[in-house]
Amino acid sequence: MPLDVLAVASEVFPLIKTGGLADVAGALPQALRHEGIRVRTLLPGYPAVLRALADPTEQHGFNDLFGGAARLLAAVVGELELLVLDAPHLYARGGGPYADANAVPWPDNAIRFAALGRVAAQLGRGLLPDFAPEIVHAHDWQAGLAPAYLHYGGEPRPGLVMTVHNIAYQGQFPAGLLTTLGLPPSAYSVDGVEYYGSIGYLKAGLWCADRITTVSPTYATEIMTDHGGMGLGGLLRARAPVVSGILNGIDTDVWNPLTDPHLPATYDASSLAPARARNKQALQARFALTQNPDALLFGVVGRLEWLKGLDLLLQSIPDLLSLGAQLALIGSGDPSLQHDFLAAHHAHADRVGVVIGYDEEVAHLIQGGSDAIVVPSRFEPCGLTQLCALHYGALPVVARVGGLNDTIIDANEAALTARVATGVQFHPVTAEHLAAALARTAAFWRDHLLWRRLQQNAMATDVSWNRAARRYAATYRELVEARRG
CA–CA distance, 332 with 354 (Å, rounded to integer): 10
Structural domain contains residue 262: no
Report helix, strand or coil for 158. coil
pLDDT confidence of residue 102: 87
pLDDT confidence of residue 252: 92
Query: Which CATH number do you get for residue 441?
Result: 3.40.50.2000
Residue type for 66, please?
F
Q: Are residues 239 and 345 in the same domain?
A: no
Structural domain count of the chain: 2
Closest-CA residue to 326 (of 346, 349, 309, 347): 349
Per-residue pLDDT of the chain (485 residues; tens, 9 = 90+): 689 999 999 999 999 998 889 999 999 999 999 999 999 999 999 999 999 999 999 999 999 999 999 999 999 999 999 999 999 999 999 999 999 988 899 999 999 999 999 999 999 999 999 999 999 999 999 999 999 999 999 999 999 999 999 999 999 999 999 999 999 999 999 999 999 999 999 999 999 999 999 999 999 999 999 999 999 999 999 999 999 999 999 989 999 999 999 999 999 999 999 999 999 999 999 999 999 999 999 999 998 999 999 999 999 999 999 999 999 999 999 999 999 999 999 999 999 999 999 899 999 999 999 999 999 999 899 999 999 999 999 999 999 999 999 999 999 999 999 999 999 999 999 999 999 999 999 999 999 999 999 999 999 999 999 999 999 999 999 999 999 87
pLDDT confidence of residue 285: 98
Q: Are residues 290 and 432 in the same domain?
A: yes
SS (H, E, C) 415-453: HHHHCCCCEEEECCCCHHHHHHHHHHHHHHHHCHHHHHH
Supply the range of the domain harboring residue 157: 3-249+466-484
In angstroms, what CA-CA distances link 351 with 216, 275, 318, 395?
35, 22, 11, 19
Greatest C-alpha distance within the chain: 68
Q: Are residues 232 and 299 in the same domain?
A: no
Q: Are residues 366 and 431 in the same domain?
A: yes
Q: Are residues 15 and 128 in the same domain?
A: yes
Q: Are residues 195 and 49 in the same domain?
A: yes
- Are 229 and 236 contacting, i.e. CB atoms less than 8 angstroms apart? yes
Structural domain contains residue 263: no
Q: Are residues 324 and 374 in the same domain?
A: yes
Residue 227 backbone phi and psi in degrees, to 5: -70, -55
Q: Sign of dihedral through CA atoms 128, 185, 152, 246?
A: positive
Structural domain contains residue 398: yes
**What is the strand order of the sheet 424-426 is part of?**
352-356, 326-331, 297-301, 372-375, 395-399, 424-426
pLDDT confidence of residue 183: 97
DSSP count for the chain of H helices, then E strands = 20, 18
Give the pLDDT confidence of 157-211 residue by residue, as tens digits.
999 999 999 999 999 999 999 999 999 999 999 999 999 999 999 999 999 999 9
Q: Are residues 444 and 476 in the same domain?
A: no
pLDDT confidence of residue 1: 67
Residue 399 backbone phi and psi in degrees, to 5: -75, 150
- Are 328 and 289 contacting, i.e. CB atoms less than 8 angstroms apart? yes
pLDDT confidence of residue 51: 96
Q: Sign of dihedral through CA atoms 294, 300, 304, 307?
A: negative
Q: CA angle, corner 466, sides to 463 and 470, nearest 5? A: 135
Structural domain contains residue 382: yes
